[in-house]
Amino acid sequence: MRDPSRRRLLALALPALVAARAARAGTDPWAAIRAPGHVVLIRHALAPGNFDPVGFRLDDCSTQRNLSAEGRAQAARIGEMFRANGIAAASVQSSQWCRCLETATLLKLGTVVLQPLLNSFVQDAAQAAKQVPAVKAWIAGLALDRPTVLVTHQVVITALSNVYPGSGEIVVMRRDATGGLATVGRVATA
């Protein structure tokens, strides 16, 4: 489906279809996003390939795996989905990887703040053992009084939610009184 007008129509119709499906299941992810106490995890938009090249640097996007044109369009559509569901602004934080930062910026939901705790640890299992508890503690301390969007990587989302998200997929989590997280909804955006 490469026709831009069909893609735009689908992007505009998708939120209603997702909401109808979620309503039948008893959970509306968009209502959860608008409610206090929830956090949104978004896997960066489409960036073809696997892993970053050997020797990549966070301060040089030319050394990293980056969003494709389709990924940039997907990120913009995700932002449109938020606005179509009554969310025009959010607290947005991103991994330092360029594909995450670009996804977060293209959402156009607000100023993007870099958060190293959202960085990938796919190539360093020892880092994961330290980073996952730190991310959970950090999320436990967030205000979550307004929509909060965290743009990150598959490995981080999977470690927090046990969900293996597709590119650009939205995973909505509720934080309980003890700081624990529970997945309450998902929205595919591809």
Q: Which pLDDT tens digit goes with each residue over 93-144? A: 999 999 999 999 999 999 999 999 999 999 888 999 999 999 999 999 999 9
List helix spans (H) across the chain: 4-25, 29-34, 69-84, 98-107, 125-141, 154-161
For residue 135 the two structure tokens come to 């991310």
Provide the pLDDT for residue 174. Answer: 98
Domain range summary for the chain, segments of one domain joined by +? 4-187
Give the number of C-alpha atoms closer than 13 A to the C-alpha of residue 168, restricted to the C-beta side.
27
pTM for the model stands at 0.86
Provide the pLDDT for residue 2. Answer: 57
Provide the pLDDT for residue 45. Answer: 98
Q: Flag residues of the chain having pLDDT under 70.
A: 1-26
Whether residue 31 contacts residue 88, with contact meaning beta carbons closer than 8 Å, is answered with no
Closest C-alpha to 81, from 152, 165, 146, 16: 16
Question: What architecture is domain 4-187?
Answer: 3-Layer(aba) Sandwich (3.40)
Provide the pLDDT for residue 14. Answer: 47
Provide the pLDDT for residue 124. Answer: 87
